[in-house]
Amino acid sequence: MNLRVSRADLTDSRDAAGIVMVIDSYAVDPMGGGKPLPPDVRERLVPALREHPTTLVLLAYVDEQPVGAAVCFFGLSTFKARPLLNIHDLAVLPRYRGSGVGRALLQAAEQHARREGCCKLTLEVRDDNARARALYRSFGFEDFVVGDDSAPTRFLGKPLSD
C-alpha cells in the first residue's frame, strides 16, 4: 500500500473533491450520523473551509486516491497562552480502516501542531466508537482533566438554529 499524507490544497479541484467524498462517507457511517451530506453542504464545504482563518485539512492518499481526511482548526489555550490544534473530523473510508491511515493522519496533524508551537491536540469521539477510541488512546489521547481534579472535562454542544 502506497500511503501518503499531505496538506490539502483547498483551491485544487481534486483535493476539494477528495475532502467532500471522504467527509460524506463519514457522514453516511453510523458513527457520523448515518445520513449523507445535504447537497448544499457538499457545495459549501470546501469554500467554507477555505474562508475559515484557522483551517488545516490533511488528506491521506493510497495509490493517489483520497482515502482519509483530518479536518483541523487552530485555537488557543488560555491556560497556556499557546495555540492548540483541534482535530474536528478524522475520517477514513471503510475499506481502509485498520490499515494505518488514521494513525498517519494523526501523526501528520501532530507534526503540524508541533511546527506551530501548539501545546496540545484535541478531538472529540463518540463513547460508543470503540475502534476510534482505541486508536486515539494508542496515540496518547486521554480524557482531559483540568488541574489536579480527577474528573474528566466533557465536550458539550448546543445547536443553534439554521
Q: Under a CB-based contact definition with an 8 Å cutoff, are residues 110 and 140 in contact? A: no
The domain 3-128: what is its CATH number?
A: 3.40.630.30
Q: How far apart are CA 103 and CA 38, in angstroms?
A: 29
At 148, is the secondary structure helix, strand, or coil? coil
* pLDDT > 90? residue 146: no
Q: Give the pLDDT confidence of 108-137 residue by residue, as tens digits.
A: 999 999 999 999 999 999 989 999 999 999
Can you tell me the mean pLDDT for 44-51? Answer: 98
Q: Which residues contact 24 (CB under 8 A, 6 or more apart)?
A: 36, 37, 42
pLDDT band at 8 (very low <50, low <70, confident <90, very high): very high
Of 6-15, 79-88, 115-124, 144-153, which gets the smallest average pLDDT? Answer: 144-153
Average pLDDT of the chain is 94
Domain ranges for the chain: 3-128
pLDDT band at 159 (very low <50, low <70, confident <90, very high): confident
The amino acid present at 11, given as its one-letter code, is: T
* pLDDT > 90? residue 162: no
Q: Which residues contact 110 (CB under 8 A, 6 or more apart)?
A: 121
Q: Give the pLDDT confidence of 79-97 residue by residue, as tens digits.
A: 999 999 999 999 999 999 9
Check residue 94 and give its pLDDT: 96
Check residue 157 and give its pLDDT: 79
Q: Under a CB-based contact definition with an 8 Å cutoff, are residues 70 and 40 in contact? A: no
